[in-house]
Each structure stands twice: as structure tokens, then as C-alpha cells.
Amino acid sequence: MLKMKKGLFVAVVAALLMALAACGGKSTETSSSSGGGEAKKKIVVGTDAAFAPFEYMDKGKIVGFDVDLLDAIMKEAGLDYELRNIGWDPLFAALQSKEIDMGISGITINDERKQTYDFSIPYFESTHMIMVKEGSPIQNALDLKGKTVGVQNGTTGQEAVEKLLGKENKNIKKFENTVVAIMDLLNGGVDAVVTDNAVANEYVKNNPDKKIKAIADPKNFQSEFYGLMFPKGSDLKPKIDEALKKVIDSGKYAEIYKKWFGTEPNIESLKQ
Ligand code: ARG
């Protein structure tokens, strides 16, 4: 009698554990083929969708060059995925803790980040530009001295401005995302915003009424390259690299590039 009860107890506990495990599976968002040994895990990709034309929100959807490129890469690799708008600083934390599998967000490949993360092969060449109001006396990066400059926190734009003005300079205002930095420029909170050239140009093009101009300064701003970012040691990296190469070589990359930038990409610059 006692033994029977014990057996029953064990069975109930086992059933509960199995139910819990099933719930766990659902909450980590595995794809529809539940329970089977062949269950394919959805790759969770993070982004900061406030960086047009790379990633931004349009009618409740994340859209942009990066979004189309990601889709082409994942289709090529045959991987199921989900893109989440989690914000810039949280993106780095979530990758480091392996809460998510991958990031695409106009992320520049640099040595400092490479110590903590892995990157794909480069997929876009970028540099910085200065956004100012029309009529501003600022004409190049050196003119930023003594001015208040807005940057997105934790970006290479912040680094570029710190190089010019000094790391501890109180005139550097750091914003959570690039959209709020530009809003502060419009409101007169800062004299300039330094951000990635394609983002600055896109804003100027789409907002002629705002009377903002974007200034290039190739002497003081270096060229850099974007890559998809992974937790260190991720086994996704080789798969993504292979798929990205195919997307570039097949002409799909050029198609996406033309859709968003209206011009032919310089593929050679990516292969340096
Ligand atoms: N390329 C710059 C960097 O990696 C800025 C990227 C910001 N991206 C974004 N989605 N907010 O630091």
C-alpha cells in the first residue's frame, strides 16, 4: 500500500516535471514542430530599431536594410528566426549573457568589441557625419570643439567625438538612441549630432522641413564596417558567414542595397 502510494507520487512528480519542461520549451519560442526530436530552435536576433534606414519601426513592424539582409541570410542558411527590438545597450548585454543568439543593428566591428563578441564578415562600410541646423557655424569635425555634441551612448560615434573633444568632456551628451539625439538637436539642446553617415543622410533626405544638414569629414572620421554580432564562440558564426557570402555573391545583397540606397553597392570595399 505504502509502496503503491510512493509509486503514484513519483509518477505525479514526473508528470509535473514534464509539463514544466514543455512550458519552458514554449517560452523560449521553439518553432511549431514541438516535442519531436527534430524540433528546430528559433534563432533570436536582437536590434535597436531607431536607426533608419538600417532598422526602424514602421506601422508596428521592424523594417530596414538590415532587416531585409537578415531575412535573406536566414533564408539562405535555412534557419528559423525571430527579430526583437530590444534597444542598443540591452542588445550588448543580452548577447553577452547569451539570452539572444545574434544581433544586427548597424553594429561596427572593432577591436574592443571583438574581445567580448564574435562578428560576421563585414556587410556595410560606414563613416561618421555631423548633423547641424542649417546656418550653423560648424563646418567640420574640428569645429565641434567648445560645442555641445549629441551621440548615441555606447556607439563608435561617441568614441569618435571623445577622440576629438576628450573622453571626460561634459559637452558630449549621450542619448539612449539616435532618434532622441536628433530630437535634442532640433530642440536646441545640442549644437550637433555625430552619427553614421547613412543615418544622417537618410534623416536629411526624409525631413527637408527640419532644415538639418549633414557634414562629411573624411580627414577626421575613419571608415568602419558593420557586421552581425554573436556571443563569443557562437557556432552560428560560420553558418551566417557562409550564407552572407552567398547572399553577396548571388546579387541578392545588391538588390537589397539598391532598394534602400538607390545605388549599386561597392562589393569590393567589403572584401578588402
Ligand atoms: N555603427 C555604430 C556603432 O556600432 C552605431 C550603431 C547604432 N545602431 C543602432 N541600431 N542604434 O557603434
158 lines ligand 1 (CB under 6 A): no
- Average pLDDT of every residue of the chain: 91
The pLDDT-based confidence of 41 (bands split at 50, 70, 90) is confident
d(CA 141, CA 125) in angstroms, rounded, equals 20
With contact defined as beta carbons under 8 Å apart, do 247 and 76 qualify? yes
User: Taking residues 116-137, what's their average pLDDT?
Assistant: 98
Q: Who has greater pLDDT, 23 or 74?
A: 74
With contact defined as beta carbons under 8 Å apart, do 43 and 80 qualify? yes
106 lines ligand 1 (CB under 6 A): yes
Look at residues 88, 103, 105, 107 and name the one whose alpha carbon lies nearest to residue 54: 105
Cβ within 8 Å of residue 144, ≥6 positions away = 130, 138, 161, 164, 165, 191, 192, 194
- Residue 30 pLDDT: 40
Q: How far is the CA of 98 from the centre of ligand 1 (A)?
A: 20
How many alpha carbons fall within 13 Å on the CB side of residue 130?
29
Helices 236-249/252-261 angle, 10° precision: 80
- Give residue-wise pLDDT tens across range 188-199: 999 999 999 999
- Give residue-wise pLDDT tens across range 216-254: 999 999 999 999 999 999 999 999 999 999 999 999 999
Work out which ligand 1 atom sits closest to the CA atom of 226: 1
Look at residues 134, 150, 155 and name the one whose alpha carbon lies nearest to residue 54: 155
120 lines ligand 1 (CB under 6 A): no
- Range with the lowest mean pLDDT among 42-56, 65-79, 195-209, 258-272? 258-272
Length of the chain: 272
The pLDDT-based confidence of 40 (bands split at 50, 70, 90) is confident
- Residue 26 pLDDT: 40
Q: How far is the CA of 152 from the centre of ligand 1 (A)?
A: 8
List, in sequence order, every residue forming a beta bridge with 225; answer none if it has no partner: 125
Q: Would the pTM count as exceeding 0.90?
A: no
Look at residues 68, 203, 78, 205 and name the one whose alpha carbon lies nearest to residue 124: 68
- Give residue-wise pLDDT tens across range 166-175: 999 999 999 9
With contact defined as beta carbons under 8 Å apart, do 46 and 94 qualify? yes
Which of 63, 108, 222 to mutate for ligand 1's pocket (most ligand atoms within 8 Å of CB)?
108
| Percent of the chain whose predicted confidence (pLDDT) is above 70 | 86
